[in-house]
């Protein structure tokens, strides 16, 4: 199989398999899978759905990149979830409290988000690098801690801003709003969408085209080989984790800067885990992650359309879960198949080389 096939086949198979499984589930519960599929496709033309998919896709894209930076080094930053939430919360507080001139205001908010995300990732990074603590456990614990800290930060005792029944961070003045592209009735594309795209380009260049990116990937593939080549593994762990945290710090900001202009108690959660799924789907490749993010956002938005025709919207969650699980299984199967094919090819070549030698020895 060619490289293109081994890359593209697994996700396609996974999506098809998930669709098949969900169709069966729908048939069992007495719904029509055909109608469900039709409404999922036609929803894109209606109202603001297409723009919503792009906006949510941008959020997911940043989340996928944040996770992928860690994955490149075989670091499992499960803590993207906590990092993004606390970063969005603190950035919204800083943005709401500081009166600043227009462009600077947005930049300060963005930098605050990155800094806080980085700091929240610093704890597991240090624990991993100097105490050998698995980053998986420490980041899971820090996710829970972040939830508590955010609840305290938003409470009226700290920085909470009470408005009717809602508690949020103090609202950000218009100087701190990130302007979007107004498409009239189709909605407004977040300005942060372009920041997300830039991040993708930066990710591609840094990891794919620089010496640093090579060292990072190398120390992920084989720490011993990298150390032998003069790369300090400990430093790489710190850098990868901090970069992951910094990118994670931006995940919540498209919504804070483009729509909510504050961080509320009911702000969406789970983007960090979505990011893990999307990074897996896109195999840590910037283009793959983009496709995964858009697919995920599209499925998310389908939930509403499905609800309208009486199909339980939760079928989308099943579909997403099945896609992640089957895509990793599919990648593994294809990898094994490709490896076996490679072994057969090499063995055949070796036989072909050895034959004349063996014949020569006989004469």
Partner 1 sequence: MTAPATSRPVPAARARRLPGWATSMLVVLVGLVVLSITATLTGQLQLTSAGTAQAAVQLLLPILFAGLGGLWAERAGVINLGLEGMMILGTWGAAWAGYQWGPWAALAAGAVFGALGGLLHAVATVTFGVNHIVSGVAITLLGAGVTKYLSTLLFLPVSANPRQSPPLRGFDSFSITPLTDVLDALVRANLVFVTDVAGILQGLLTGLTPTVLLGALAVPVTYLLLWRTAFGLRLRSCGENPVAAESLGVSVYMYKYIAVIVSGGLAGLGGAALVLNPGQLGYLEGQTGGRGYIGLAAMIFGNWRPGGLLAGSALFGYVDALQLRAGGDAVHALLYAGTILAVLVAVLWFAQRYWLAAVWALVAGLVVYLVYFFVDTIPSQFAAFAPQIVTLLVLAVASQRLRPPAADGLEYRRGEGD
How far is the C-alpha of 98 from the C-alpha of 93, rounded, in Å?
9
Residues in binding contact with partner 1, number by CB under 8 A: 52
Structure tokens at 35: 């109608």
Would you say 272 and 80 are in contact if contact means Cβ atoms under 8 Å apart?
Answer: yes
Does position 322 interact with partner 1 (CB under 8 A)? The reply is yes
For the purposes of burial, counting CB atoms within 10 Å of the CB of 209, is it exposed (0-12), middle (13-18) or buried (19 or more)?
exposed
Applying the rule CB under 8 A, the residues between 230 and 269 that interact with partner 1 are none
Would you say 287 and 102 are in contact if contact means Cβ atoms under 8 Å apart?
Answer: no
> Which region, judged by CB under 8 A, interacts with partner 1, from 89-97, 112-120, 287-295, 310-318?
310-318
> Which region, judged by CB under 8 A, interacts with partner 1, from 103-111, 200-208, 285-293, 315-323?
315-323
| C-alpha R_g of the chain | 24
Applying the rule CB under 8 A, the residues between 110 and 149 that interact with partner 1 are 123, 127-128, 131-138, 140-145, 147-149
CB of 160 to partner 1, least distance (A): 11
Would you say 207 and 279 are in contact if contact means Cβ atoms under 8 Å apart?
Answer: no
CB of 193 to partner 1, least distance (A): 25
Applying the rule CB under 8 A, the residues between 270 and 289 that interact with partner 1 are 273, 276-277, 280
Q: What is the DSSP annotation of 65-94?
A: HHHHHHHHTT---TTHHHHHHHHHHHHHHH
Does position 332 interact with partner 1 (CB under 8 A)? The reply is yes
DSSP annotation of 261 reads S
Would you say 56 and 255 are in contact if contact means Cβ atoms under 8 Å apart?
Answer: no
> Which region, judged by CB under 8 A, interacts with partner 1, from 105-113, 257-265, 312-320, 337-345?
312-320
Three-state DSSP state, 348 = helix
Applying the rule CB under 8 A, the residues between 71 and 90 that interact with partner 1 are 74-76, 78
In the stretch 6-25, what mask flags binding to partner 1 with x, by CB under 8 A? Answer: -------------------x
CB of 23 to partner 1, least distance (A): 14
Structure tokens at 338: 């490709």
CB of 170 to partner 1, least distance (A): 19
- Residues ≥6 apart with Cβ < 8 Å to 171: 96, 161, 261, 262
Q: Site residues (CB under 8 A) for partner 1?
A: 25, 29, 74-76, 78, 123, 127-128, 131-138, 140-145, 147-149, 151-152, 155, 157, 223, 273, 276-277, 280, 312-318, 320-322, 324-325, 328-329, 332-333, 336
């Amino acid at each position: 199989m060619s490289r293109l096939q081994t890359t593209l086949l697994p996700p396609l198979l996974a999506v098809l398999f998930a669709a098949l499984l969900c169709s069966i589930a729908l048939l069992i519960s007495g719904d029509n899978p055909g109608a469900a599929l039709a409404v999922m496709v036609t929803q894109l033309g209606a109202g603001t759905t297409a723009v919503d998919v792009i906006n949510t896709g941008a959020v997911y894209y940043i989340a996928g990149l944040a996770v992928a930076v860690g994955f490149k080094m075989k670091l499992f930053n499960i803590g993207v979830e906590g990092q993004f939430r606390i970063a969005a919360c603190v950035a919204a507080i800083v943005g709401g409290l500081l009166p600043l001139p227009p462009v600077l205001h947005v930049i300060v908010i963005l930098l605050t988000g990155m800094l806080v995300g980085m700091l929240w990732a610093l704890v597991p990074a240090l624990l991993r690098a100097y105490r050998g603590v698995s980053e998986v456990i420490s980041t899971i614990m820090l996710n829970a801690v972040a939830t508590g800290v955010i609840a305290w930060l938003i409470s009226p005792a700290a920085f909470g801003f009470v408005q009717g029944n809602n508690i949020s961070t103090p609202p950000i003045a218009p100087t701190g709003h990130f302007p979007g592209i107004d498409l009239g009735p189709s909605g407004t594309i977040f300005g942060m969408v372009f920041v997300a795209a830039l991040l993708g380009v930066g990710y591609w260049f840094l990891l794919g085209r620089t010496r640093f990116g090579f060292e990072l990937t190398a120390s992920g593939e084989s720490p011993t080989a990298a150390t032998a080549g003069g790369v300090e593994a400990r430093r790489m762990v710190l850098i990868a984790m901090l970069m992951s945290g910094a990118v994670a710090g931006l995940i919540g900001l498209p919504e804070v800067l483009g729509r909510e202009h504050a961080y509320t108690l009911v702000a969406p959660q789970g983007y960090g885990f979505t990011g893990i799924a999307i990074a897996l789907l896109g195999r840590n490749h910037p283009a793959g992650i983009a496709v995964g993010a858009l697919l995920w956002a599209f499925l998310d938005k389908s939930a509403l359309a499905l609800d309208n025709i009486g199909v339980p919207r939760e079928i989308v969650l099943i579909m997403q879960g099945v896609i992640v699980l089957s895509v990793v299984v599919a990648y593994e199967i294809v990898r094994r198949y490709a490896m076996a094919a490679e072994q057969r090819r090499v063995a055949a070549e070796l036989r072909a080389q050895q034959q004349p030698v063996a014949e020569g020895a006989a004469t």
